[in-house]
Amino acid sequence: MKQGERERYRIGELILDVPAASLQLGKEPVEISGLTFDLLVFLVRRAPDVVTHDCLLEHIWAGAHVGEETLKQRVRLLRKTLGEDSKNPTYIRTVRGKGYQLIAPVTPLIEEKPGRRAALLSPRLILPVLIPLLMLTWWGFKYAASESKAAPTTLVRDSLSAEELYERGSEYYHRYLPEDNQKAIGLLQQAITARDDYYQAHALLSRAYSQQPKLGNGYWGEEARAAAERAVELAPNRVEGYLALGIYHDVAGMPGKGIQAYQKALTLDEDNGIAWSNSAYNFLLMGRLDEALVRNIKGMELNPEGQFGMVQMAEILRLLGLADKAETWFVKAKTLQPDNVFNLTGYARFLLLEGRTAEALDQLGDKHGTAWGSPPVADSRGDIFFFTGELEKAEQSYRQSWQEEKLYGGFRLVLVLKKLGRAEGDALSAKIESRLRKAITGGYEYADFRLYLAMLVLADKRELEALTWLEAAGAAGWTDAPWLLADPALQPLQEHTRFKELIAGIQDRVTARRNKVLDENRVP
């Protein structure tokens, strides 16, 4: 499709409108959900060719680790939507050992946009010769409307369509690496510039913005929110915008709103594995581990090789105190993607608490390529050195991980600087404490910022205030009692009655939830 043309097709008796994300039989709309719609669009664009399994997995799932069984399930859903029998198909033919073929006749429908000249359409994209890559440009918005940050826009040859830019951006996004996420943002921005009504690109751009702080690339909350709301505005009956909105609320620390967004997505597509797994993340951080496990299991059933679901499964099982089961999932996730930042840091945390320090450091070594130098991995290395009393090494790692624009970044660096007697720690402590308080006052509901505040004020010898913030973290859903007991920053409170009561309360809640999932035979 050329710029200015609306991508529409007649498929037998059906009318497919790609920008509107709609499918019609005569004047009647046909209900069709996210990935099922994407699968149909891709088959139409490639018709009448046979599209291989690998090609479909690569483009529809965009780098996510899913297998052919997931693809078969999605084809079955598409056939059900189209009302056809696989044994006597009128739309999709299975080519055994190869893939699938759209066999219904496809006719492009030319519709000229105002101010544009109509042109002949083709369901096929013809790629011209690549021109040299242009230099990367950087642009960005301000964090909290005041702190500057920038992300690179990856420039590619002018002839790439919005769809091609989206596909490339999706591939980079699903690698879950800091540098690749930056590239994804640049490509998705260009896709939107080429076609502003591309709701999938707005939604995925929002998710890439939300992923930035998790990868150590600064906070992009306002951009994430705006892009997600734009996706919902463009396609209110599609799941993509609501998924993006839920992820934004996750990062912004608003689990209630996040769950609402995911529930809306599930009303539109009850088989959306991302909505199930991501809502599980909300329940995990709220301390409702049994509910998190049930939702994550459902997400894994729908996307059995999804990397995020595997890492999350491991973390839920670790928090439930099922160490052997947890490690099995950490190893499985590592086998699929050895340099996944979330799994590397989660597995290292697990090993550290198990007393396997050397193995924990090995997880974060330079053999893992680009992930080795990322801020989250450097931060995790700093934790290991901090726990083992190697403060100079901890300082070096924390300095590598800390970025000025991060919302809470540097609180561990403050602890190290104070232990080393560095004056720099006082000024940095005041700045980060102010940010944490502002975030909590502004509606950040999760427990982690309350825990960070407890550590900061304890480093200033404000023990009673530290206990109050620890209790607030427990009330907000903190369930990792082993971490509280092992963290050197909290050692001054270990014998305090209120601290012991807090630990006992957390352990009792976790035990009750563990017994529940064991009694219901829920543990995978």
Give residues with Cβ within 8 angstroms of 245, minimum separation 6.
206, 225, 228, 229, 231, 232, 261
Question: Rounded to the nearest 5°, which phi and psi values hold at 101?
Answer: -135, 130
What is the share, in percent, of the chain residues with pLDDT greater than 70?
Answer: 85
Assess if residue 447 is contained within a domain: yes
Give the count of domains, the chain. Answer: 3
Assess if residue 37 is contained within a domain: yes
Are 374 and 426 within one domain? no
Assess if residue 209 is contained within a domain: no
As given in the structure block, the two tokens for residue 204 are 């995925």
Are 491 and 458 within one domain? yes
Are 433 and 354 within one domain? no
How far, in Å, CA of 170 to CA of 66, rounded? 15
CB atoms within 10 A of CB 70: 21
> pTM of the prediction?
0.66
Q: Which is higher by pLDDT, 96 or 416?
A: 416
For the chain, the C-alpha Rg in angstroms (whole number) is 25
Tell me the CATH number at 83.
1.10.10.10
Are 386 and 448 within one domain? no
Are 430 and 522 within one domain? yes
How large is the average pLDDT for residues 119-130? 36
Are 391 and 428 within one domain? no
Over the chain, what is the mean pLDDT? 84
Could you tell me the pLDDT band of residue 120, with boundaries at 50, 70 and 90?
A: very low
Of the three residues 401, 430, 462, the one that is the final residue of a domain is: 401
Residue 494 has a pLDDT of: 95
- Domain coverage including residue 26: 8-109
Are 381 and 310 within one domain? yes
Residue type, 393: K
Assess if residue 114 is contained within a domain: no
Could you tell me the pLDDT band of residue 303, with boundaries at 50, 70 and 90?
A: confident
Residue 21 has a pLDDT of: 81
Are 36 and 79 within one domain? yes
Q: Which is higher by pLDDT, 144 or 237?
A: 237
Among 289, 200, 211, CA closest to 250: 211
Query: pLDDT tens digits for 393-449?
Result: 999 999 888 765 455 568 899 999 999 999 888 988 998 999 899 989 988 999 999
Residue 151 has a pLDDT of: 47
Are 430 and 382 within one domain? no
Assess if residue 511 is contained within a domain: yes
CA distances 222 to 227, 333, 392, Å, are 9, 31, 36
124 pLDDT exceeds 60? no
* Orientation of helix 411-419 relative to helix 375-387, angle to 10°: 30
How far, in Å, CA of 249 to CA of 243, rounded? 10
Are 333 and 431 within one domain? no
Are 480 and 517 within one domain? yes
Residue 375 has a pLDDT of: 81
354 pLDDT exceeds 90? yes
Could you tell me the pLDDT band of residue 386, with boundaries at 50, 70 and 90?
A: very high
Tell me the CATH number at 350.
1.25.40.10
67 pLDDT exceeds 70? no
Residue 116 has a pLDDT of: 40
Check if the beta carbon of residue 210 is closer than 8 Å to that of residue 247. yes
Assess if residue 285 is contained within a domain: no
92 pLDDT exceeds 80? yes
362 pLDDT exceeds 50? yes
Query: pLDDT tens digits for 217-271?
Result: 777 888 999 999 999 999 999 999 999 999 999 888 898 899 999 999 999 999 8
Residue 370 has a pLDDT of: 57
Could you tell me the pLDDT band of residue 164, with boundaries at 50, 70 and 90?
A: confident
4-13, 205-214, 228-237: lowest mean pLDDT where? 4-13
* Orientation of helix 341-353 relative to helix 323-336, angle to 10°: 150
**Across the chain, how many H-helices and E-strands are there?**
23, 12
How far, in Å, CA of 367 to CA of 74, rounded? 36
CB atoms within 10 A of CB 6: 18
145-149, 162-166, 332-336: lowest mean pLDDT where? 145-149
Of the three residues 109, 128, 157, the one that is the final residue of a domain is: 109
Residue 366 has a pLDDT of: 64
Residue 263 has a pLDDT of: 94
Of the three residues 401, 432, 448, the one that is the final residue of a domain is: 401
Q: Which is higher by pLDDT, 451 or 338?
A: 451
* DSSP characters over 160-182: --HHHHHHHHHHHHTT--HHHHH
Assess if residue 332 is contained within a domain: yes
Are 374 and 427 within one domain? no
Ramachandran class of 23: left when φ > 0, alpha when ψ lies in -120 to 50, beta otherwise: beta
Q: Give the helix/strand (H/E) hosting 41.
A: helix 34-46
Query: pLDDT tens digits for 479-512?
Result: 999 999 999 999 999 999 999 999 999 999 999 9
22-31, 135-144, 256-265: lowest mean pLDDT where? 135-144
Helix residue ranges per DSSP H, 239-340:
239-252, 255-268, 273-285, 289-302, 307-319, 323-336
Residue 319 has a pLDDT of: 97
Assess if residue 291 is contained within a domain: no
Residue type, 347: Y
Residue 376 has a pLDDT of: 85
Check if the beta carbon of residue 222 is closer than 8 Å to that of residue 145. yes
Residue 62 has a pLDDT of: 60
* SS3 at position 149: coil
